[in-house]
A and B are shown apart, each in its own frame.
Chain A
Amino acid sequence: MSRLTVKLGDWELDNPIIPASGTFGFGYEFAKYYDLDLLGSMSLKGTTKDPRFGNPTPRIAECEMGLLNAIGLQNPGVHKVIEEELPKLRQVYHKKAIANISGFSVEDYAYTAALFDKEEDMGILEINISCPNVKHGGMAFGTDPQAAATVCRAVKKVTTKPVYMKLSPNVTDIVAIAKAVVEAGADGLVLINTLFGMRIDPRTGRPIVSTKMAGFSGPAIKPVALRMVYQVCQAVDVPVIGVGGIQNADDVLEFLSAGASAVQVGAQNLVDPWACPRIIEELSRKMDEYGIETLEEIIGRAQK
């Protein structure tokens, strides 16, 4: 145990920093830039049953303090991920990773989860019921408590690994969704996914991203993410991984104070490829400055 150690259930992480799914590929390409074993863990690129190219380009648009993306779950499909991507990752990363799973039907989720269940170095199955960039499935499962619970139960049936549901912020009552999936057996929660947003070219009047509407992430969404983590941590008793606009160690301390047990860094990886190791280094410095002994002691302190 070091002062940066945090726990997700029985899993002890050396530090709370996890690159978020979709901003880190399958991890191994970042090994050129730093030692991946420095990370707490990593959440892998969203994986579906079948290969997907995703949406047409343009898939990206700049926003004030953030970006829109409409990648649309591009990935080579679960079989190729397990046969080709995971072996490459294992050569350069020796901790447990988080598999991120998406689907278009309840059966899809269960199919992909059952395959990842056999991979020993997957520490958590993160179930993405919140992707705003696919027409069917995705976010549709994450905006209705019953549908979210159904996906959760189906995945729990096929795996003994901890199942964390990644929730959508695009709902009226995130607590209701959180409670529904915890009741259905979720071992933890990840929140939030991107906010559903839009940009239009003022000159032409046309939407910039091909899908017109897309997922908004980056520092601009941090207050929303923090509020939702705070609300959900008050209402449920499972570990929560906080994600949304984290740029530095102060942001991490905010999320842990709100109740998160660990955090994911997303958009920041795209503008600063060294963001995660930089934040890990900065954490101890900030803890010294604020008189924080261990991270474990501050988790949820804002709740009191």
Chain B
Amino acid sequence: MTNGMYEIVSNRPIAQDTYEMVLQGDLSFAENPGQFVNIKLEGLYLRRPISICDWDDATLTLIYKVVGKGTRQMAEMKPGKELDILCGLGNGFDMKKAGEHSLLIGGGVGVPPLYGLARRMVYEGKKVTAVLGFGNKNQAFYVEKFKALGCPVEVATEDGSLGTKGFVTHVMENLSYDYYFACGPMPMLRAVHACGKPGQLSFEERMGCGFGACMGCSCETLVGNKRICVDGPVMDSSEVKF
């Protein structure tokens, strides 16, 4: 974990209630896709944990959905503003465990960390297919960006307004794969896990600190109690208990 000031380079809507914020600052903290940052906001006591979508040598990209006071404040921020951010939180995905053909399964605002993962896995020559689920066409984002990486992309929307009608699991039924990386809402993670293949799942929970001190985000697993913020947010399918 590091603490630093990060300057907003751009902050724009990319789908219904969904924004992409690009920041610049010290990025030496970044280890694995799937890690998150914790952002201090004006007038709010607790920091707001946001997953990292992607990073490079110069910039950090976050995608967030406006769901409350904190994210609403973020949506109104202009380029040039500096933010106090705790960085390098959480374990992130372990790419070394990937199979011959891995599915990258994202649901809603669970999609962003899979983009950074996809970019790195494609770069390393690993065979991946992105399976992205959204409520509807207006909520979908980054579909073209995933395609531009050169990997196959399957989309599912609940109302059928884009791609297959239904959930990511409907798309998965028609794909052959031996491993997965998943991030999304709890019902999606439960359904993906029930498919029985090995993989890694990234969880979300209300957090106090984001770095293991308060035990606010604890969960029970098959290998004992874990804190989603430091022992996760990514957990192996073999240890997850639903």
Listed residue (A32, A59, A66, A208) with the most chain B CB atoms within 10 angstroms of its CB = A59
Contact A62 B44 (CB under 8 A): yes
Listed residue (B1, B70, B214, B218) with the most chain A CB atoms within 10 angstroms of its CB = B214
Contact mask for chain B residues 59-77; partner A; CB cutoff 8 A; 1 contact, 0 none: 0000000000110000000
B3 close to chain A: CB less than 8 A: yes
From known contacts A57-B206, A58-B205, A59-B206, infer whether A69 and B216 are also in contact, taking CB-CB under 8 Å.
yes
The smallest beta-carbon distance between A135 and chain B, in angstroms, is: 18
Which listed residue (A32, A53, A271) contacts B1, Cβ 8 A?
A32
Contact B214 A23 (CB under 8 A): yes
Q: Which residue of A lies closest to B228 (CB)?
A: A57
B residues in contact with A61, CB < 8 Å = 206
Q: Which residue of B lies closest to A210 (CB)?
A: B206
A25 close to chain B: CB less than 8 A: yes
B198 close to chain A: CB less than 8 A: no
Contact B45 A53 (CB under 8 A): no
User: How big is chain B's contact interface, by range?
Assistant: 20 to 34
A66 to B212, CA, bound (A): 18
Contact B218 A54 (CB under 8 A): yes
B219 close to chain A: CB less than 8 A: yes
Q: List A residues 15-74 near B (Cβ within 8 Å).
A: 22-25, 29-30, 32-33, 45, 53-54, 57-67, 69, 71, 74
The smallest beta-carbon distance between A22 and chain B, in angstroms, is: 7
A274 close to chain B: CB less than 8 A: yes
Contact B3 A274 (CB under 8 A): yes
The smallest beta-carbon distance between B141 and chain A, in angstroms, is: 24
Q: Which residue of B lies closest to A45 (CB)?
A: B215
Contact B1 A69 (CB under 8 A): no
Q: List B residues 184-242 near A (Cβ within 8 Å).
A: 205-209, 211-220, 225, 230
Contact B206 A53 (CB under 8 A): no
The smallest beta-carbon distance between A17 and chain B, in angstroms, is: 16
Listed residue (A63, A218, A271) with the most chain B CB atoms within 10 angstroms of its CB = A271
A171 close to chain B: CB less than 8 A: no
A260 to B168, CA, bound (A): 58
A273 close to chain B: CB less than 8 A: yes
From known contacts A57-B206, A60-B206, A61-B206, infer whether A69 and B45 are also in contact, taking CB-CB under 8 Å.
no
Q: Is the interface of A mostly helix, strand, loop or mixed?
A: loop
Q: Which residue of A lies closest to B46 (CB)?
A: A62
Interface size on A, residues (CB 8 A): 34
A64 to B212, CA, bound (A): 23
Contact B215 A74 (CB under 8 A): yes
B residues in contact with A29, CB < 8 Å = 212-213, 230
The smallest beta-carbon distance between B180 and chain A, in angstroms, is: 24
B40 close to chain A: CB less than 8 A: yes
A residues in contact with B44, CB < 8 Å = 62
A194 to B44, CA, bound (A): 19
Q: Which residue of A lies closest to B216 (CB)?
A: A60
The smallest beta-carbon distance between B40 and chain A, in angstroms, is: 7
Listed residue (A45, A53, A61, A270) with the most chain B CB atoms within 10 angstroms of its CB = A270
From known contacts A57-B218, A59-B206, infer whether A270 and B46 are also in contact, taking CB-CB under 8 Å.
yes
Ordered by A's residue number, 14 sampled pairs between the chains whose C-beta atoms are within 8 Å are A24-B213, A25-B213, A29-B230, A57-B205, A57-B206, A59-B206, A60-B206, A60-B217, A61-B206, A66-B45, A67-B45, A270-B46, A270-B214, A271-B46
Interface residue ranges, B against A (CB under 8 Å): 1, 3, 40, 44-47, 69-70, 86, 205-209, 211-220, 225, 230
| 8 cross-chain pairs, A with B, having the tightest CB-CB distances, nearest first | A270-B209, A60-B216, A58-B206, A60-B208, A60-B206, A74-B215, A59-B216, A270-B208
- Kindly list 9 other residue pairs between chains A and B, CB separation below 8 angstroms, not including A29-B212, A59-B216, A71-B215: A29-B213, A57-B206, A57-B217, A62-B44, A66-B45, A67-B45, A269-B209, A270-B209, A270-B213
